[in-house]
Amino acid sequence: MSGYWDPHIERMPLKDLHALQEDRLKSIVRYVYDHSAFYRQRFKDAGVEPGDIKSLADVTKLPFTRKVDLRDTYPTGMFSAPKSQVVRYHVSSGTTGKPTVVGYTRGDIETWSESLARALTSIGLGRDDTIQVAYGYGLFTGGLGLHYGAERIGAAVLPIGTGSTERQIELMQDLGTTAIACTPSYFLHIMEVAEKMGVSIQEDTNLKAGIFGAEPWSIETRKRIEEGTGINAYDIYGTSEISGPLCTECMQQKGIHIWGDIFLTEVIDPKTGEPVDDGERGELVFTTLHKFALPLIRYRIGDLSVMTNEVCECGRTHPRILRIMGRTDDMLIIRGINVFPSQVESVLMKIPEVGDHWEIIVDRKGVLDMMTVKVELTEKGFSDKIGDLMRLKKKVSKELKGVLNIAAEVDLVEPGTIPRSMGKAKRVTDNRKV
């Protein structure tokens, strides 16, 4: 088992952690009320004042905030700190709408780095490690976020960013990279390119850990990565609004530790906004307890997960969320049935003939929704015999129908034909919306 970066905080008895959260909640509510016209108005509309927040349970008196609020107040209308205290901006790519801008004070960058230092230590990394940061640098939070966290623990950082896949593999060998941080879909591509170059990640590199996130990925994909390379693949979570990548699983790989001194996490029913029970699935809502340029109060993040407050076997007391199963707005409704891309991934990754890359295409023919799942086969799974392909197509369709409860058209394609992504993979094309 790995050590702790900040044992006092990470193992804090729950009673003390809750007391700290309560103090910080009261302070941040007062702070946003005093510093942000946006929050003052929101609180006024909801009929709540800072003095009404007397305990943790009172958080539910506060109004929710959402991504649309950041868009409506673009670029910095939700900030609580004056410009003179802001030392950095990041900007979301805006693939699902107008971009959103997030900002940091020096202290916010410090908290972000500390949070990642705890996380990286919890997966066994330290000053003897070389961490290859292959998330995008720049406006995306992944590259710089991991960079600061990795430097904080004294590891050597290789700030390569995305792309140049052959170079990634060469440098991984030359510099003895022990951990890589990138999207899981990009790592699958790195594995593929390494194989083509005749490099065995297991035999020819020192890689022992992957820090994979920024997009949904299934347990089955983890299994493929771990079995294919001998590394441990850890889930890392965060969103630009809450700073960027912040929290990971520990070596137990039983959920992502969400640092309770930094966030108050709620899980709600996305339809009613009411809290769900511990262990029930719902939408994550974060209140940032220790962030000052852009504090977020009851921010509905849109991601669906399950939270547990059970103390982890690693000794960390902070709540954990289980693998993100998608976003509320990722969910496709096909002929009235809810389909999450993550369900499709789980089915496909269990079928050995299926490669690592796939896509969902949704069309509307007349009044009927049609879902096509385009599936790339592995070299071994690919056959030029029609009979073999037909049998496989039937098998994939049957497995998908078993889980999704609707029929999908399956389109088997040759290895290497689906475009590879260096960052977040785009798995779904919904032609109904355009």
The residues that touch ligand DLL, with contacts defined as CB under 6 A, are 92, 135, 141-142, 213-216, 235-240, 244-245, 301, 303, 324, 327
Query: 282 near 267, Cβ under 8 Å?
Result: yes
Q: CB of residue 302 vs ligand DLL: minimum separation in angstroms?
A: 6
Q: CB of residue 324 vs ligand DLL: minimum separation in angstroms?
A: 4
> Looking at beta carbons only, is 103 or 213 nearer to ligand DLL?
213
> Looking at beta carbons only, is 291 or 327 nearer to ligand DLL?
327
Both structure tokens of 136: 């995008």
> Looking at beta carbons only, is 58 or 215 nearer to ligand DLL?
215
Q: CB of residue 40 vs ligand DLL: minimum separation in angstroms?
A: 26
CA distance 136 to 142: 6
**Three-class SS state of 235:** strand
- Nearest-CB residue for ligand DLL: 213
Q: CB of residue 242 vs ligand DLL: minimum separation in angstroms?
A: 9
DSSP string, 145-214: HHHHHHHHTTPEEE---S--HHHHHHHHHHTT--EEEE-HHHHHHHHHHHHHHT--HHHH----EEEEES
Burial of 37 per CB tally in 10 Å (0-12, 13-18, 19+): exposed
Query: 289 near 50, Cβ under 8 Å?
Result: no
Burial of 313 per CB tally in 10 Å (0-12, 13-18, 19+): exposed
- What are the C-alpha distances in Å from 154 to residues 34, 73, 141, 148, 201? 38, 38, 20, 10, 24
Q: CB of residue 249 vs ligand DLL: minimum separation in angstroms?
A: 9
> Looking at beta carbons only, is 142 or 319 nearer to ligand DLL?
142
> Looking at beta carbons only, is 236 or 360 nearer to ligand DLL?
236
> Looking at beta carbons only, is 12 or 150 nearer to ligand DLL?
150
Q: CB of residue 250 vs ligand DLL: minimum separation in angstroms?
A: 14
